[in-house]
Each structure stands twice: as C-alpha cells, then as structure tokens.
Amino acid sequence: MEGFPTRQREAPITFSAARPRTLAATTLGLAALLLISGCSGGLSAREESLGGPSPAPATGMPDPSALTPAGSVVPSDTWAVVQIADDSGEGAKSTLALKAGLLRVGDADDLKDLKVMNGTSNTAVGTPYYINYAWVVLEGSENASPVQSITAVDSASGETGNTLLVPAEYEKCSDPVTGQFGGTKVVNVECSVDVFPGEVMPDRLVFDGDPADYKGTSAVQLAIPKA
C-alpha cells in the first residue's frame, strides 16, 4: 500500500506546538492509483503527464518586498506575501504570494478507503472539507511550494482538523489542481483536504512554515471566501 502524509496543527489562537503529520494509504493499491490518475479527460498529453491543467500567467501581483506581517489574518480577496525556505542553497528563501480559494463540503464516506499509517484510527474520521488555494512564486526557486506548510482552522473555536495528503482522486475541490510545471509568475492551484469533527467547519487556511518568522503565533492566516 502506498502511504500519503497528513498535516495537523494546534489551535490558531494560541498556536502551540505542531502535531506530527499522519500517513494515509488507499486500499486500492499502487496499480489502481496509477490507472486512475491516468484518466484525465480534457487535458493535453503534456498536461496529463504532469498531473493537471497548465497554470495561468500571474498578473497584477503584489511586490515581493511587500511582505505580510507575521501573525496577520489576510482577507479572502487579498494575496498574502510570505517567504519560504527552499533547497537552492543554505539559508535560501523564496517569496510567494498565497490566497485561499473556495471551500467544498464533503461526505463522511469520502475517505472510507483510506488507512491511517502514522496517526490514530480516527484521523480520517469526520467531515472532509476540500479547500482550494493558489500560490505564485514571486522571487526565488521556481520549485518553491507551500504545500507542506498549509493547514486549516476554525478560528471561532480554535479547532483544527487533520490535513491529509491523499491521491488525486480523493481531492474534490471546486477548481482542479494545476500540473507541476514549475516556473515563476504563474498561478499554481492546489487542493487542501481537511477533516474536522462534528459540526466544526474551517474558515481559514494557515501558513505555518520555515523560516521561523512564520512559526507558532507568527503563522499567517488566510480567510476562506464565503460561498
């Protein structure tokens, strides 16, 4: 079985230490996953090979020097500008623009075929929420990505769910995820899959990552647009 990590965070108001990622595995097996991921109607051969549609050119973007203050809550119609460590060299950073997209409510049975690998048996139990977000590399490595640093939260209760990294067929966001083309000044679209207990619904995404400027209480929160 293939393993797929999940992400979790503590409450956004206090932002205590981050909980570890969890691995989830699908009971379909690798061969079935490869078969499913190959069924990409409407894409060109190149787009299909790269896992999604081409990212659109980025226009009207904020200046890379206009960094969002650490700990800010960014309105849903505004790009946050943050820095993230990249692998281009020791101490290297890239500057990204981030914005939350639409939220889609899933069904409790959506993830029934997933098996938790490094969490508890109830990690994927609850209501899944599928939340689009976009990012643009303004400066730095064309391969810089915030995917490992994005989680979700209900700001009213401080409740956080489990953010899952799952096979593409389990991502049911409103907008399709773009292919992994790389490059700067293009709008990359991703889907965050977040499981919350009971009636709790997330209303913000959280960027909590390297460098340490954005850790804990300094994490930047992105308001999710209201439907």
- φ and ψ at 45, to 5 degrees? -60, -40
- Are the CB atoms for 9 and 215 separated by under 8 Å? no
Task: Read off the pLDDT band of 124 (50, 70, 90).
Answer: confident
- Bridge partners (DSSP) of residue 222 are 74, 205
| Span 208-219, pLDDT tens digits | 977 777 777 789
Q: What CATH fold (topology level) applies to the domain 3-223?
A: Immunoglobulin-like (2.60.40)
pTM for this one?
0.79
Domain regions of the chain by residue span: 3-223
Lowest-pLDDT range of 102-106, 208-212, 222-226: 208-212
pLDDT of residue 90: 78
pLDDT of residue 9: 38
Burial of 4 (0-12, 13-18, 19+ CB in 10 A): buried
